Structure 1
Amino acid sequence: MSALPHSPHALVTGGGRGIGRAIAASLVGAGATVTVLGRNAATLEEAINAGAAHFAAIADVSDETALKAAITEAHARQPIDILIANAGSAESAPFAKSDSALFARMIDVNFMGVVHAVRAVLPGMKDRPYGRVIAIASTAGLKGYAYVSAYAAAKHAVIGLVRSLALEMACSNVTVNAVCPGFTDTDLVAGSIDNIMKKTGRTREQAIAELAKHNPQGRLITPQEVANAVLWLCSENASAITGQAIAVAGGEI
């Protein structure tokens, strides 16, 4: 894996925990200055204290005005070279019980949160000699899963955005990609496990097995495995990789 350009500034949304924190820590280890963005100041501060980031920015990615203000402040500290649009939320329900409000929540966070972040960073990034936009999507953006139609629709939209924006940016120094993890061992998946246990009466081990069965390797993905893929896409060796949706899923896709 090649090194990153000298001391780029990376902004990671949803960077306080789970996949986002693993990505932030890996970028720090590769020499980047990292700002983690999220809603919970204590969680972000904990990431900084643990050495997984340098700075924090407080905003809800679904609030375009607040997000733009937070990113503008981070950009003023040091121009942003890397955007990792990681913040997300997942809710499950049968389609018949998925009302418009549920769809709106999933679209607002998982899709429009990416749109808002890209809009805020792209003007300053596209004229610089190096830029990376990476959306953390999901295998749910590449295929369907039962009972998460709203979430899957939002993640499919993210991948459509990535593919289209990559073509617009093809003659610049900005690459645009998506990384699509399968079920990953994070707090978000822990919520899904709790939901399975509550609704089906299965044990925790049985609930984990229900999710892990989607992965041909028969396990959950680790956050670090997702971070490794992101770090490669941020490297200078990946300059020809754009418009891609890369599955980190043990062969599921």
Structure 2
Amino acid sequence: MTATETLRRGQTDGAALAGKVAIVTGGASGLGRAMALALAEAGARVVVADLDARGGRDVADLVGGAFRACDVSDLEANRALVDFAQEQYGGVDIALLNAGVTTGCGVGDDFDPARYRRAMGANLDGVVYGTHAVLPALRSRGGGAIVATSSLAGLAAVALDPLYAANKHAVVGLARSLGPALAPDNVRFNAVCPGFAESRIIDPLRDMLSEQGLPVIPAQVVADTVLRIVTGDGAGECWFVQAGREPEPFRFRTVPGPGKPAAV
């Protein structure tokens, strides 16, 4: 059975997301492509968003969806993306805010303000702007799901790319904070935190990963995890995806409360 036939069968077999409309940013390749495929197989109609028009249209054609060019670091572009999805399919139920890039610089002599702003714009602003833009559409449908792509770099220190770690930690903090804040509106906000997964981001690291014997996580594993998050009932969770382990929500330690005043 071809990939297209599999998608069509998923759309007609009473799949979990039948009738739902989803947006996937960074959907032209890697994790975003796999997410778009997984959503379509589960029955959703998918709007693929990316700056890579050729790749994005190819994925949209594959899933029987629609493509919209979008720079997620621009607030108005995010609003236009949501408007486009509503015009195409009548609403939005799911937003996978996945677009992201590596930083490519540090904070020392190699600091590059343009690279820094590009990474923060895609990795953090894209999540904030995307959430702001899609919330009215989700609320109008009685709720929905937002999943932001963070990283294991959002859960641990990463000396190799501290600025990337910074914006991914910010996405984790946003998910943990917005989860309970948006739950009363029946909008579930969660994050997925993959390790080294198959995507363009790891291209500069492939030789190093091979030399160190570090496995690359298939994009489909990350996409399947996102599908579990979307179809679940959690909010404010940050699911780790690590090679050789079953994905699950990361268990954060509780912050210590205030201590007792010192005795006089």
Q: Same fold (TM over 0.5)?
A: yes
Alignment deviations for residues 20-61 of structure 1 (CA, whole Å, 9 cap, x no partner): 000000100010000000112111111123x23510011111
**Contact 2:103-2:116 within 8 A present in 1 as well:** no
Tell me the percent identity: 35
Seen in structure 2, the aligned counterparts of structure 1 residues 86 and 53 have a Cα distance that, compared at 3 Å, is farther
Indicate the SS of the match to 1:56. strand
State the Cα distance separating 1:94 from its structure 2 match: 4.1
Does residue 1:179 correspond to 2:187, yes or no? no
Query: Which letter does structure 1 place at the counterpart of 2:230?
Result: C
Aligned to 2:126: 113
Query: Which letter does structure 2 place at the counterpart of 1:106?
Result: A
TM-score, with length taken from structure 2: 0.81
Indicate the SS of the match to 2:201. helix
Query: Which letter does structure 2 place at the counterpart of 1:220?
Result: V
Aligned to 2:9: none
Query: Which letter does structure 1 place at the counterpart of 2:159?
Result: A
Partner residue of 2:104 out of 87, 92, 99: 92
Seen in structure 2, the aligned counterparts of structure 1 residues 53 and 247 have a Cα distance that, compared at 3 Å, is farther
Query: Which letter does structure 1 place at the counterpart of 2:46?
Result: V
Partner residue of 1:230 out of 207, 226, 232: 226
- What pairs up with 1:57-96 in 2 under 5 angstroms? 57-77=68-88, 78-96=90-108
**Contact 2:16-2:43 within 8 A present in 1 as well:** yes
Greater RCO between the two (CA within 8 Å, min separation 6)? 1
Alignment deviations for residues 135-166 of structure 1 (CA, whole Å, 9 cap, x no partner): 01100111111121111101111111111111
Q: How far apart, CA to CA, are the structure 1 residues paired with 2:72 and 2:179?
A: 21
Indicate the SS of the match to 1:95. coil
State the Cα distance separating 1:212 from its structure 2 match: 5.2
Tell which structure's C-alpha radius of gyration is larger: 2
Q: How far apart, CA to CA, are the structure 1 residues paired with 2:69 and 2:139?
A: 24
Q: How far apart, CA to CA, are the structure 1 residues paired with 2:212 and 2:111?
A: 21
Is 110-119 or 63-72 further displaced after alignment? 63-72
Does residue 1:19 correspond to 2:31, yes or no? yes
TM-score, with length taken from structure 1: 0.85
Alignment deviations for residues 50-81 of structure 1 (CA, whole Å, 9 cap, x no partner): x2351001111111112211221212222010
State the Cα distance separating 1:129 from its structure 2 match: 3.2
Q: How far apart, CA to CA, are the structure 1 residues paired with 2:96 and 2:212?
A: 25
Seen in structure 2, the aligned counterparts of structure 1 residues 68 and 187 have a Cα distance that, compared at 3 Å, is same
State the Cα distance separating 1:210 from its structure 2 match: 5.1
Aligned to 2:116: 103
Aligned to 2:209: 208
Aligned to 2:178: 165
Q: CA RMSD, aligned part only?
A: 2.0
Gaps of 5+ in 1: 194-203, 214-218
**Contact 1:10-1:83 within 8 A present in 2 as well:** yes
Is 159-168 or 6-15 further displaced after alignment? 159-168
Seen in structure 2, the aligned counterparts of structure 1 residues 211 and 33 have a Cα distance that, compared at 3 Å, is farther
Does residue 1:136 correspond to 2:149, yes or no? yes
Query: Which letter does structure 2 place at the counterpart of 1:246?
Result: W
Aligned to 1:200: none
**Contact 1:183-1:212 within 8 A present in 2 as well:** no
Gaps of 5+ in 2: 1-13, 251-264
Partner residue of 1:36 out of 48, 53, 59: 48
**Contact 1:4-1:234 within 8 A present in 2 as well:** no
